Every structure is written in structure tokens, then in C-alpha cells.
Chain A
Amino acid sequence: MSGSIQDTFFEECEELLEATDEGLSAIEGGDHDPEVVNAVFRAVHSIKGGAGAFGLDELVAFAHRFETVFDEVRANRMELDEPLIQLLLRSCDHLYNLVAVARDGGETDQAHHNMLIEALDKYIPEEEEDLTFEPMGLGGPMDVSAIDIPQAPTEETYQIHFRPLKDMYSTGNEPIFLFQALQEMGELTIVLDDSELPGFDGMDPEESYLSWNLTLVTTEARATVEAVFEFVEGLCELSIEGAGDADADAAALAALEAAFGGAPAAESPPIVEPAAMVEETPPAPFEQPAPAPTPEVKPDASGSKPAAPKAENSKTEQRGPNPTLRVDLERVDRLINAVGELIINHSMLAQQIANLDVADVRDVETELEGFKNLARDIQEGVMSIRAQPVKPLFQRMARIVREASSATGKSCKLVTEGENTEVDKTVIERLADPLTHILRNAVDHGIEKPEDREGTNKDKVGEIRLTASHRSGSVCIEVKDDGAGVNRPRVKQIAIEKGLIPENAELTDAEIDNLLFAPGFSTAKEVSNLSGRGVGMDVVKNAVTGLGGRINISSSPGKGSTFTIILPLTLAVMDGMVVSVADQTMVVPITSIVETMRGNDDMINNLGADGTLLSIRGSFVPICDVAGALGLEKKDDQPPGVYLLVETETGQRSALAVDDIHDQRQVVIKSLDGVCGEIAGVAAATILGDGKIAMILDPESILAASPAVGAFDTERRMSNAS
């Protein structure tokens, strides 16, 4: 159980960190609205609170410093000047790291950690609050100081009424362990109340019928007693009443009200986080006890009302105005699969009806058309669930740019546009690495040193523009820097040195730029910490191609370079051309096809022993026989009838020879992962209308596997060179 709660904590951490980042970016942009400052403070505080509950000391300590400094800002005791904002931004980045370390294990960069702590400490005035955190502790230091909980050094008697709800058992909690914990604190008397127990016949084995009345005599503070029940909050009916603390209750309540009512900024205690998790689960039919660790927990919840609504407020403020639902990704994927089946099912049905020997099927066809539209609606709806704005990704990129700038001693800023563009979640996840690489490259190689920039009449601060937009059924992500542009002579020289191109090759500017994507190409003179770890832009290209996308570069010397990534909107469905190759039905992605044409013998020209070229309106493109490239045997000797003209990323054209074209349709992509290993030339599979599986081809890798075209490539280079 603690595993899943911890997961939830980390999920929330992500959100909170994003909120922090967002707030800080707004502050950096000049927005010093107290609400923004408060939002950041709350977010950091919640992280600290949650981390405290899990005993993540390093994270707590750091978040605490961050919070303390921010508290000063919030109270207007400290001015938010540029160095402080930068420090806070970097501290926020470090919080990300600490959370990541806490979640995934690994080592914190101690030097960096200490450096930041030292820098933060400079802003913290005089005395420090007590930092120690009980792993199970209730309430942060804030609350302890704000609410004067009666410390009980003397023995106190608590009357505890405890009635677990059904849900408590389903989360794996055992009352006996709770009682054992109580017993360790002092003298415990347990009285079982089984009055609700129905007869044997009417008993539901999953229902909870038992409750307990406990009497505890202990010297421990009330908060410690309550802490025992922390993890069953909301899963039980609980009342804890101290024998002589009615007065104390009133006092504490008053203090609480004062704390929440008097200072709106006063934070809801960290325990609100676990409570918020509880609210995500279907609400229990019973009234839930107040989620906050108020000193007052009454069964009717009325006593804690002053605290509860406030906690609610702060929560909604953090979440933003749109109510959202957190759903297990697997459930969504299951739905997506089911919709995929529905689409396949539709085409099967359509095929069956077409095969029927019925004179008039028009009515059925009309209805079938309606079915198709509905299926498409559902599909789009389901896909939009998976679609997420690229904003969090872009925020992460801002960190990357900051880190890269400070590592290289350059100053750059990242300007983002189209943050709300929605892209499939998987695409976003798998885009993070390539984008990181491009941005690091942009800072490392693109943007010039500040002194060089001043010499060329540019602003000292380099600008990197990260844009996302939808462009006719695909997503376009652009990284544009205003740096020096690709140093073409050097790129060419390196390519020659590394044997990527012949020495006397003559390449167009675009071809030189594209050399950056060649495997094993890295322009960094020495291996820096940042980019140039031997893996180059070819890794970026592979990642993008792996997502079914394309990447282009354009550059103008002295003005900067632009990387453009074009991605399909979804990974689950694509438009394909259904073709037949050696008696097998296959699908070629529409996006890669430039043109299709029926060939005749006049168009085919031989070149050398095996090479054949297709002449299209006066130009010649190499022919690649798909059946041959896939190692399939053809049953007849007929020459392929149809050519699909495809264009590779380098702008090179080739003609894929197939037997016939049947149809153009939307197909559901079925991954071949786990079915078999990687197959050259095949990207995935799909299920056609007749229930048969068809391979989805990957033209790029077919061409790479085809010896004829590969050889031709070199030939052309050589002929260019002469």
C-alpha cells in the first residue's frame, strides 16, 4: 500500500514542481502578483510535507530552505531581484533532481546541492526553525508554531472510537497493527463492539461490521496518537477524545481558525496531500473525517469544518479551474485498443456486405457509413484523452537550457510558443530525449559566446525559440536559435575526416546541413559535458523516425539554425496505402509517399548490371524492388506494375516497386514488439478488413536494406564530386 501512496506522492510532486516552475517563470517574467508567489510557496510546501511523510530527509531539508526564503519574499521582507529569481529557478531545478533521486534512486550532486543550500541560507534571516522531521510526523514546523498544540508531558487518557470502513480492509490495513502501535505508547484497553454484526445468513464477507472502543493512557502527545491512524484517514470513522482536553480543544480550534482565517497565506498542513489522494478514490458512502491533522477529529466532522473548506480551496487553486480526472494509463490504452478493434470490425463488416449477393444494399451502406463516422468520433475522443499539452515538456526544456547555459558560460533564454498544443502522451515522453539533445546542441554549438555576440550586433543574451503547432494532421515542433548557424566548411571538413563523404565531394548547403544527422558525426572539438558524447544528432533522428516523424534542419550563417520535427498526431492509427507485394498485402504509410504511378517498360532504364532507373518527367530515380528487399519470393515473373515514389529525409527520391495498389485507408497500428524481433523494412503490422494481418512497411529502412539503391547513393555522390 505504501508503494502506491508513494507513487501518488511522486505523481503529485511532478504536478507541484510544474506549478512551481510555472510560477517562477511568471515571476521571472515580471509578474509579482502575490497570488503567483503564494502558489509557488504552497507547491513547495506541499512537496516538503509529502516528502516528510516518506522520510525523504534531503528533499525535506532543501524544500524547507526554499520555502523559508520564499516565505520572506511572500511577507515582503525581501525583494525579488534578478539574482534571487535565478537562484530560485535553479533551486527549483534542483528540486526536480532531488525528487528524481528519491524516486529512482541514484546520487545527488552533492557539490551542487551544498552550493545551492549555501546560497539559499544567505537569504534566510537569523534563527532557523527546527528542521527535524518525524517520518510519520503530522504537520510541518509551520503548523506547530501556528497552532499551539497542548504538549502533554503528563499522562493523558484518550477515548478512541474506531470503526473501519470496508475500504480500509481492501487497502490492506489491519486494525491489529494500529492497536499494536497504540499499545507501544502506553496502557491500552480494547473493547470490541460487535453489535452491528448481522446473523450468519445476512453477512457480507466483504463488509465491515466491527468497531472498537479503545482507552489509551499515555504520555505521548495527541498528535502522536493521531499519527497512528494517519494512513487510514478517510477509510474509517474515528474519534479521539482526551479526558481533560475539552478546554484545550477549544483553544486549539480557536488557534486554528485564527491561523486559517487570519492569514489566508497560512498553508494547509502537509497532510492535505494524502487526503487529496483519498478523494481521488470513489467517495465512501460515509461521511469522511476531516482530512487535516487538526487537533480536533470528531465523528460528525462538524467540529473540523473551519479547517476543511480552507483545505479544499487551496487544493482547487493548485489544480487550476478545470476539474480533471486522473486515470490509469492502462485503462485508456485498453479503450484505445477496443476502438481499434471497432474500426477493424467496421471494415470487416463492410467487406462482408460487399461480398453479399444482395441486389440493394444501399440502406445498409448508409447505416454503415453512420457507424463508421461514429467509430471515428469515438476514436478521436479516445485519442484526445491521451493527448496532452506539450507544456510540461517545454518547461523541462527551460531547465535544460538553463543548465546548459551555465555549464557553457553562455547566456540564453528559451522562448516557448504553442505550449498548449496537444500531442499523444507517448510522443511527448519519447520526444524528451531528442529535444533535450537538440537544445543542448543549440546552446553548445549554436549560440555564440556573449562577447562574440556583442561583436556581431546581437543581443548579448541568445534566444532559443521552441514552438509547437498543429500542421495538417501532424504536429510540428521547431527549435530555432539565433546563433551562428551551421559552420558548413567545418562540418564538411569533419565529414571528410571521418570518411563520411569523399574528399572531393561537392554538396549543396542542405546536404551539408544534413550531414549533422549522419551516424558518428559530432562537431564538438573536445568531448564536453553537455553534448558531443559520441552520440550525435543521428540519435535524435532515429528517435524521431522511431515515432514515425521526420526531422529537418535549415540554417543561415550568422543568423541561426532551425530544427523542424514533424510528428504524426497519434501513434495508434495512420493513413496507409494498401499494396500487394509478392502475393502479400502490405501497407505503406501515406506520409512517405510523394507520388504513385503505373509503370511501363519505356520508363525503366538499366544502369550497370543490376541497377534500374525509373524515368519520371525527364529525371531518373533508382528503383527498389520491395519483394526483393524483404526477401520474398515472387510466384510469377511479371514485372512490378506500380511504383511508389518516396522521398527520404535527405531529400533523395526512390521508386518502390510493388505489384499493385488496392486502397487507401486508415489502419490501426499493431506493434510487433514481443511478437518477433526487429525486421528490416517492416515498421509494424495492422489488421485489414478481411481479418488478415498486413505488414506496415518502413520505406526508409527498405531503401537502406536495398543494395541497389545504397550503391546508387554512393555513385551519385561520386558523380557529383567530379
Chain B
Amino acid sequence: MQAEVKSNDQEVKHAQFSEFVSFTVAGQAFCLKITQIREIRRWSPVTILPHAPSDVLGVMNLRGAVIPIYDLSARFGLETTEASERNVVIVVSSAGKPVGLLAESVSEIISINPEEIQETPPVDSRNTMEYIQGIISHDETMVRIINLDAVISVPEQVL
């Protein structure tokens, strides 16, 4: 399943707006810049990597390339996801290499004026602070903007 991103004419006119894809992880709303996302796929069972930390689910075959899949929820220090067919894998690109992130479901594409992005208020959980770049208010819910580099770079050091 590939999400094709169409920007309608009206949005193009507001050049200063950036588009984000929002999705839920462990019941919370998160988002990533649309340009960071390569594709979104339905979850299919992955091959387990032996001795891998709990937030690394395993590896998946993406058209002949072996890509690692991380459990976003576990990475954020939330409960580990019991992956099922309903879940999605968001394929992002890190330094040219694709990486898959498991999320509960994808919600929508939202258009955000960069000025609306608020800094993350300090909270106790250091894990969260590290992975969250900022927050935005959208339809009266809080959407967390993920710091992709932090999410992707850490596991390679851990492994």
C-alpha cells in the first residue's frame, strides 16, 4: 500500500506552509514532515534479528533491499506494539538508507505554518524530549513532531 501524496492547488499557494503526515503511536498523535517519508506500507511480519534490542523489530524486504524496522512506541518508551495487519510501516530515509518505523495507523496530511510550531515544554521523560522536536495544535489535539535523526541514529549505536 503506497500513500500517494497529492497537494491540492490551494495549499501550493501558501508556500510557507509545510505539510506533515500525522499518525498515531500508542494512542498518541505524532507527525513527520512529508518530505522525510518515502512510502507507507501495510505491516507484514518481519524477520527477527537475533540479539536485537526490544525496539528493533527486525528486518523487512523492501524491493530487494534489507531494511530495519523500529517500533516507534517502544523507542519512545511507551508500551511495545503488538504488530498486526492494521498497523503500518512508515518508510523514511536516513542518510540515503531506508528505515521502517512501525506506527499504529496513519491519520492525515496536515498543513502547518512553521510559526505555529511550539517548543516542547520540558517534561520529565528524557526519552521523549530527545525524540520530539516540537508540538503543534491541530484540531484541538496535540501533535508531536518527531526528530527523525534522533529516532534513527540511536539504535545503530545500541546494536
Contact = CB atoms under 8 A, between A and B. Distances in A.
A674 B47 CA distance: 17
Interface string B40-75: 000001111111100010011100111110000000
B47 A584 contact: yes
Interface in A630-674: 630-632, 670, 672, 674
B75 to A, nearest CB: 15
The residue among B46, B56, B66, B97 with the most chain A CB atoms within 10 A of its own CB is B66
Given A674-B97, A677-B156, A630 B51 contact: yes
Contact of A672 (B48, B56, B60, B66): B66
Interface stretch (A236-244, A551-559, A601-609, A691-699): A691-699
Contact of B64 (A337, A675, A676): A337
Contacts of B1: none
A24 interface: no
A630 B46 CA distance: 17
A531 to B, nearest CB: 35
Contact of B61 (A679, A680, A682, A692): A692
A681 interface: yes
Contacts of A443: none
Given A340-B64, A692-B61, A676 B159 contact: yes
B52 A676 contact: yes
B51 A670 contact: no
A687 B49 contact: no
Nearest to A686: B66
Contacts of A685: 47, 59, 66
Contact of B66 (A585, A670, A680): A670
Nearest to A672: B66
B59 A693 contact: yes
A344 interface: yes
B61 A691 contact: yes
Contacts of A174: none
Interface in B95-124: 97
A681 B66 CA distance: 18
A341 interface: yes
Contacts of B159: 676-677, 679
B96 to A, nearest CB: 9
A418 B60 CA distance: 43
Contacts of B50: 630-632, 679-682, 695
A676 B56 contact: yes
A344 B51 CA distance: 27
B64 A632 contact: no
Given A674-B97, A685-B59, A693-B59, A679 B51 contact: yes
Contact of A341 (B59, B64, B68): B64
B67 A675 contact: yes
A632 B52 contact: no
Contact of A694 (B45, B47, B64, B97): B47
A294 B47 CA distance: 65
Interface residues of A, number: 26
Nearest to A670: B66
A551 B68 CA distance: 33
A692 B68 contact: no
The residue among A675, A680, A682 with the most chain B CB atoms within 10 A of its own CB is A675
Given A584-B47, A630-B50, A676-B56, A693 B64 contact: no
Contacts of B68: 675-676
Nearest to B51: A631
Interface in A321-350: 337, 340-341, 344
A371 to B, nearest CB: 18
A676 B49 contact: yes
A507 to B, nearest CB: 33
B59 A675 contact: yes
A670 B51 CA distance: 19
A681 B48 CA distance: 13
A560 B135 CA distance: 73
A681 B51 CA distance: 10
A693 B62 CA distance: 10
Interface in B132-159: 155-156, 159
A692 B156 contact: no
A104 to B, nearest CB: 25
A533 to B, nearest CB: 30
A340 B64 CA distance: 9
A662 to B, nearest CB: 15
B61 A693 contact: yes
A632 to B, nearest CB: 6
Nearest to B59: A693
B48 A632 contact: yes
Given A337-B64, A674-B97, A687-B61, A692 B47 contact: yes
Contacts of B49: 676, 679, 682, 695
A584 B66 contact: no
A672 B56 CA distance: 14
Contacts of B67: 675
Interface string A139-177: 000000000000000000000000000000000000000
Nearest to B58: A693
Interface string A678-721: 01111001010001111100000000000000000000000000
The residue among A672, A676, A691 with the most chain B CB atoms within 10 A of its own CB is A676
Contacts of A344: 64
Contacts of B60: 693
Contacts of B97: 674-675
B86 to A, nearest CB: 20
Nearest to A702: B50
Nearest to B156: A677
Contacts of A693: 46-47, 59-61, 66
A675 B99 CA distance: 8
Contacts of A630: 50-51
B156 A676 contact: yes
Contacts of A337: 64
B51 A680 contact: yes
The residue among B47, B48, B50, B68 with the most chain A CB atoms within 10 A of its own CB is B50
Nearest to A682: B50
Nearest to B48: A584
Given A680-B50, A687-B64, A692-B45, 8 more contacts: A631-B51, A675-B68, A676-B52, A676-B59, A676-B68, A676-B159, A679-B51, A693-B47
8 contacts: A337-B64, A584-B48, A672-B59, A692-B45, A692-B61, A693-B46, A693-B47, A694-B47
Interface of B: 45-52, 56, 59-61, 64-68, 97, 155-156, 159
Closest 6 CB pairs of A and B: A630-B50, A677-B159, A693-B47, A341-B64, A676-B159, A670-B66
